[in-house]
Amino acid sequence: MLQGKRAVITGSTSGIGLGIAAALAVQGCSVMLNGLGDPDRIEQQRQHLEQRSGVTVRYHGADMTRPEEIRDLMRAAVEQLGGVDILVNSAGIQHTAPVEAFPPATWDAIIAINLSASFHTIRAAVASMRGNGWGRIINIASVHGLVGSANKAGYVAAKHGLVGLTKVVALENAGSGITCNAICPGWTRTELIEPQIAARAQAHGGDLEAGGRDLLAEKQPSKQFVTIDQLGQCTLFLCSDAAAQVTGATLAVDGGWTAQ
């Protein structure tokens, strides 16, 4: 379905981004991985995905807090893959604290990684996509791009900003073959939310499964986690011809969280 396409997925060394990279690769799309982590483990993941999919899989370690490294990532994708047709912004971090106790440096890091990095990748990618008259930009926002929760000032502000950026990029490129959309997941079991599960598990003698059930019960009516595979399939839909007129949209994948 995506033979010959080229994708950059930020934050794809674990969790949702890695799952999306795999979903794109097995459809024939060559991919540029990005993210932090142990270099040996990342190289193993890269090789594994290349062997499984048969497409070119590269890795660039750009730190999403550094605009010049992000520019280098996008340049490397053009040089090594031949261009960028699909951009998925998935890099993200989380921190929970009341606003008066929220560390300013953590606020800055969340805004940089969860919001500003997408501005930097998008402005580079749009130039490459315009030349081909086709492009798909998919921002992994969150239910927290649509509604707030206590103790998440940085995250909620960044994700609302990302939804706003999505709409502007969609409008500026409407009719050009380039679409820009946001996927807004609810709770998805990845490293990002493990500290929140662990905090709730304390009330159950450290039982992480019980902590996970408490987390779901607070917000997610389905009481089931979203799966990484489901988010990969949603990404494939947004890359498909069926979604050519879907742009500037927020796709909530949240077990009913934002219907409440």
Residues of span 121-160 touching ligand NAD by CB under 6 A: 140, 142
Strand partners, 59: 33
Residue 15 lies near ligand NAD (rule: CB under 6 A): yes
State the minimum distance, in angstroms, from the CB of residue 36 to ligand NAD: 4
Cβ proximity to ligand NAD, 147 vs 246, nearer residue: 147
Residue 250 lies near ligand NAD (rule: CB under 6 A): no
Residues of span 200-219 touching ligand NAD by CB under 6 A: none
Residue 93 lies near ligand NAD (rule: CB under 6 A): yes
- Per DSSP bridges, beta strands 57-60 and 135-140 are unpaired
Residue 17 lies near ligand NAD (rule: CB under 6 A): yes
Cβ proximity to ligand NAD, 66 vs 130, nearer residue: 66
Q: Which residues are catalytic?
A: 155
Residues of span 43-72 touching ligand NAD by CB under 6 A: 63-65
Residue 90 lies near ligand NAD (rule: CB under 6 A): yes
How close are the terminal C-alpha atoms of the chain, in Å? 36
Residue 16 lies near ligand NAD (rule: CB under 6 A): yes
Taking residues 180 to 199 in sequence order and writing x for each that binds ligand NAD by CB under 6 A, - otherwise, the string is: -----x-xx-xxxx------
Binding part of the chain for ligand NAD, among 49-57, 76-84, 91-99, 165-173 by CB under 6 A, reads: 91-99
Which residues would be at the binding site for ligand NAD (CB under 6 A)?
Answer: 11-17, 35-37, 63-65, 90-93, 113-114, 140, 142, 185, 187-188, 190-193
